Amino acid sequence: MKGVISGLLSICLLASFAIPKADAAEKPKEKIKLAEQSHSAILMEQDSGSVLFDKNSHEKLPPASMTKIMTMILIMEAIDKGKISWNDKIRVSEYAASMGGSQIFLEPGEEMRVEDMVKGIAIGSANDASVAMAEHIAGSVDSFVNRMNDKAKELGLNDTFFKNPTGLPAAGHYSSAHDMAIMGKELLKHEEVTKFTGLYEDYLREETEKKFWLVNTNRLVKFYPGVDGLKTGFTNEAKYCLTATANKNGMRVIAVVMGAPSPKDRNAQVTSMLDYAFTQFSTKKLYARHEIVKEVKVQKAEKSKLPVVTSEHISLLLKKGETAKKVKTEVNVEKDLKLPVKKGQQIGSLKIYNGNKLITESPVLASETVKKASWWKLFKRTAGQMSKSS
Q: Which residues are catalytic?
A: 65, 68, 125
Polymer length of the chain: 390
Query: Which distant-in-sequence residues (6+ apart) come within 8 Å of 26 by Cβ?
Result: none
Which one, of 233, 223, 264, 277, lies nearest residue 42 by Cα?
277
Distance CA 292, CA 367 (A): 8
Q: Which residues touch 126 (CB under 8 Å, ≥6 apart)? A: 102, 103, 104, 106, 117, 120
Distance CA 238, CA 24 (A): 42
Contact 37, 249 (CB under 8 A): no
Q: Are 37 and 260 in contact (CB under 8 A)?
A: yes
* 3 state SS of 381: helix
Among the listed residues 121, 59, 111, the one whose alpha carbon sits nearest the alpha carbon of residue 88: 111
201: β partners: 215
Q: How far apart are CA 81 and CA 310, in angstroms?
A: 18
Residues ≥6 apart with Cβ < 8 Å to 192: 76
Interior CA angle at 311 toward 356 and 164, to 5°? 120
**Nearest-CA neighbor of 244 among 289, 288, 180?**
180
Angle at 375 between CA 373 and CA 380, to 5 degrees: 90
Under a CB-based contact definition with an 8 Å cutoff, are residues 284 and 315 in contact?
Answer: yes
CA distance 270 to 209: 38
Nearest-angstrom CA–CA distance, 359 and 329 = 11
Is the separation of the CB atoms in 68 and 121 below 8 Å?
yes
Q: For residues 289 and 364, is the Cβ–Cβ distance under 8 A?
A: no
Nearest to 144 by CA among 110, 103, 95: 95
